[in-house]
Structure 1
Amino acid sequence: MTPAATLAELVSRPSVNPMGRTDLPADILYEHRVTDYLHGRLRDLGVSVERYAVRPGRDNLVALYEPPGTPAFSTVFECHQDTVPVDAMTVEPFAARVEGGRLYGRGACDVKGGAAVMLAAFERLVREKPAGSARVTLAYTVDEEHTFLGVQELVTRGLAADSAVVAEPTLLNIVSAHKGVVRWVAETAGRACHSSRPENGVNAVYRMARILTAIERYATELQARPPHPSLGPRTTSVGRITGGVSPNTVPDVCRIDIDRRLLPGETAQAAAADLEAFLKADPVIDFPFTLLQSHAACPPLDPARSGELAARLGAAIDAVAGRHEVHAVPYGTDASTLSGGGIPAVVFGPGDIAQAHTKDEWIDLAQLDPAAEILFRFACAK
């Protein structure tokens, strides 16, 4: 099956990550439909395949190719199975429509195109068994779009290899560095009462308004700090606010979700302490609040350990595509967790990140076959 045909099969199988929401239809949620399909394809190859639950209905899938003779090296092809939700899409999310050399649908770019080409390269290795090739672990993980649970479980179970290539849309270039991300929930408490006598209560939303104003100033101050030479400044953003139960009730609780992008050398703990100290030093915030990390952080990806890997993958790219770039990006990926677990990692794949998560998400189908060829050549040490 061609990578394009595999991609159509994957896009037609919803694998939406609810990302903490409770208002999405159950028949599009979670990765199990995609996992079932990929599991079937890998079973048909006759290779060793392990499938294990990370959360109910959300399974990692790990397959192993053992080459004939002594492996040249060992590597991991890793790709996440989940997508973001489909709100406000202007194309049918799961129709996998092809038009003008593009395939449209949720996940086409991020990152089912990458999933398809990794499977194509892996299947070819199993069929052809080229001498002197690498031992390749193919890992399809869950929950990258929200809390990175799948790759964290993969590392916890003792995954070991000389290198890892993580699928994300890079236009067939190499990403060797990226920012990390940590997310917090901040909460203010109040005292509820009837809105006709608001003086009898304490409005938690008003309290949160003061915190929001302070965080806006903090975001400006962060950007003024010395930037990373390739990744740029630290950033923070408030992405969601919830609070109150009705217009005629003074709210007794308000919550916000905060996103903070980390530079190499920063930790989630230090970033939290920095923000909390800034807020507590503001004289208008004269009330208690809580700041809790909502899930495990995605660390920054530091390029210091991946130079040899980038050169080897770059040689395969040049042999197929003629040229490539190595650069840094501001978003997080599974690569940094693998790197933190002792496996040098880079990011590579077909597609353009500009199309990821968009209302008409698509991928240029012309990039799929070259991407599969690049990964095969990389594994063959050509």
Structure 2
Amino acid sequence: MMQVSIDPNEIEQVLRDLVAIPSVNPAFPGGSGEGAVGAYVKKYLSLQGIPCVEQEVEPGRSNVIGMLPGSAGGAALLFEAHMDTVQTSGMTIDPFAGKAANGRLYGRGACDTKGSLAGMLVAMSALRRSGLPLPVGVHLAAVVDEEYRYKGVSALAEAISSGRFDYSAAVVGEPTGLHRVVAHKGCVRFHIETRGIAGHSSAPANGNNAIERMVEVLNFLRTEIEPEYARMTHPLVGPPTHCISEISGGDAPNTIPGSCRITVDRRTIPGEEPMEVWRGLRDRLLRLEMRVPGLTLTVGEPFIIDYAMEVPADSRILRQLGRSVAKAANGKREYGAAYGTDASKLARVGVPSVVFGPGSIEQAHTDEESVELAEVTAAAAALVDLVLHYGED
């Protein structure tokens, strides 16, 4: 089979183009959405002769899905990467300049995860230009809203579940340093509120201080719940965790606070269901309320849930992506991650999914975000090899 090469100059130009287009998630300050990046992806694919469809997720926000057919028909291989980024506030470089220096390209999203998207686009282009019959069809889904509520991949997962799309496996683009993430955590986020009796702070005994009652809740989470996590350690992602990520309470410096609220971010491990975890914590907190005098609390319904994910050890995608990555880069391995990705939503509808891409997660969302261009080129080469040798066991 003829060699299909990746042009580093094309990689740099496509990534520079993507970074130059603002796509801050509209949930964040200054967010304009992903529409302009979606238009770029659609135009790029069209210029390469790759047909694509748009999947509207909500008004003005659509997934873009490019499609290359395989010679044998059947289920396709999916490449997936998100188009949205986090906010640019606090950045110390021009977030949209796409400046290249010392082998790296800088800007918001360069690492998370426009580097992955650029590699996937150029890989699709290289496969199309090669004229080779592909042993498997391959789709590239550029999706919206990964950084907030996962609406893009959720819509894609619904389309898969309904039979509109059929995929044998997926590669989900995120900055993994060309390693392969085969398991990761999920999360369930919710509020706990304590309620007291407001009054004048000069007579604290006449009220019921909701902030002090919240201290009882925090102590309970730290001393009774947290020690249990060590007994639940997963071999790839470690134990569950929780973080008290927000707190608010009180109305004035001279008033006994009548309410206090915290946000709990509970990270789940493979095998845990987010709603079951929440119900278990809720029930134990309500029992705490019954045994602590003066404590009145409410455990809110989760406002975000996401799922943990683990790829079955015998999945074809693990073997074949491992071989393809080894041809493009040395010393790369499989591991588990503490963060979440779009992969878990695809796995929930029966698509074995591996998280893979250029860049370091430590660069994601930083004030000088960047990615090594050679890694983006290597990622594209690995994806091309994966497609060309898919099904060879």
Equivalence for 1:121: 123
Are 2:193 and 2:297, in contact at CA under 8 Å, matched by a contact in 1?
no
Report the identity percentage.
38
Question: Any idea what the Cα deviations from partners look like across 1:33-62, whole Å, max 9, x if unmatched?
Answer: 222221222233343322233233322111
Over 3 Å counting, the alpha-carbon distance change for 1:113 and 1:322 in structure 2 is: same
Are 1:48 and 1:64, in contact at CA under 8 Å, matched by a contact in 2?
yes
Length-normalised TM-score, structure 2: 0.86
Q: Give SS of 1:276's match.
A: helix
Equivalence for 1:335: 343
- Displacement of 1:119 after TM fit? 0.6
Equivalence for 1:145: 147
Over 3 Å counting, the alpha-carbon distance change for 1:224 and 1:305 in structure 2 is: closer
Which ranges in structure 1 are unaligned for 5 or more consecutive residues? Answer: none
Partner Cα separation in structure 1 for residue 280 and residue 148 of structure 2: 23
Partner Cα separation in structure 1 for residue 34 and residue 208 of structure 2: 43
1:238 aligns with 2:244: yes
1:286 aligns with 2:295: yes
Length-normalised TM-score, structure 1: 0.89
Question: Any idea what the Cα deviations from partners look like across 1:91-115, whole Å, max 9, x if unmatched?
Answer: 2222222221111222111111001
Partner Cα separation in structure 1 for residue 314 and residue 306 of structure 2: 18
- Displacement of 1:273 after TM fit? 2.0
Q: Give SS of 1:50's match.
A: strand
Are 1:3 and 1:116, in contact at CA under 8 Å, matched by a contact in 2?
yes
1:175 aligns with 2:181: yes
Q: Give SS of 1:236's match.
A: strand
Q: Give SS of 2:283's match.
A: helix
Over 3 Å counting, the alpha-carbon distance change for 1:201 and 1:15 in structure 2 is: farther
Aligned length: 375
Equivalence for 1:259: 265
- Displacement of 1:73 after TM fit? 5.8
Which ranges in structure 2 are unaligned for 5 or more consecutive residues? Answer: 1-8
1:160 aligns with 2:154: no
Are 1:61 and 1:139, in contact at CA under 8 Å, matched by a contact in 2?
yes
Question: Any idea what the Cα deviations from partners look like across 1:346-371, whole Å, max 9, x if unmatched?
Answer: 11111111211222221111111111
Equivalence for 1:55: 58
Partner Cα separation in structure 2 for residue 248 and residue 341 of structure 1: 54
Partner Cα separation in structure 2 for residue 174 and residue 105 of structure 1: 24
Q: Give SS of 1:170's match.
A: coil
Partner Cα separation in structure 2 for residue 150 and residue 218 of structure 1: 38
Equivalence for 1:316: 324
Are 2:213 and 2:295, in contact at CA under 8 Å, matched by a contact in 1?
no
Within the candidate set 3, 24, 32, 2:11 is matched to 3
Partner Cα separation in structure 2 for residue 55 and residue 210 of structure 1: 42
Partner Cα separation in structure 1 for residue 108 and residue 353 of structure 2: 26
Partner Cα separation in structure 2 for residue 305 and residue 376 of structure 1: 23
Equivalence for 2:279: 273
Question: Any idea what the Cα deviations from partners look like across 1:113-163, whole Å, max 9, x if unmatched?
Answer: 001001111122222231233211111111212221211110111232111
Partner Cα separation in structure 1 for residue 234 and residue 60 of structure 2: 39
Deviates more, 1:335-344 or 1:85-94: 85-94
Are 2:79 and 2:170, in contact at CA under 8 Å, matched by a contact in 1?
yes
Partner Cα separation in structure 2 for residue 200 and residue 129 of structure 1: 81
Q: Give SS of 2:367's match.
A: coil
Are 1:338 and 1:344, in contact at CA under 8 Å, matched by a contact in 2?
yes
Equivalence for 1:99: 101
Equivalence for 2:229: 223
1:299 aligns with 2:307: yes
- Displacement of 1:323 after TM fit? 4.5
Residue 57 of structure 1 aligns with an amino acid whose one-letter code is G
Are 1:18 and 1:84, in contact at CA under 8 Å, matched by a contact in 2?
no
Equivalence for 1:75: 77
1:188 aligns with 2:190: no
Partner Cα separation in structure 2 for residue 198 and residue 13 of structure 1: 55
Question: Any idea what the Cα deviations from partners look like across 1:248-292, whole Å, max 9, x if unmatched?
Answer: 665554432221111111101221122223323333372131221
Partner Cα separation in structure 1 for residue 87 and residue 248 of structure 2: 19
Q: Give SS of 2:36's match.
A: helix
Q: Give SS of 1:157's match.
A: helix
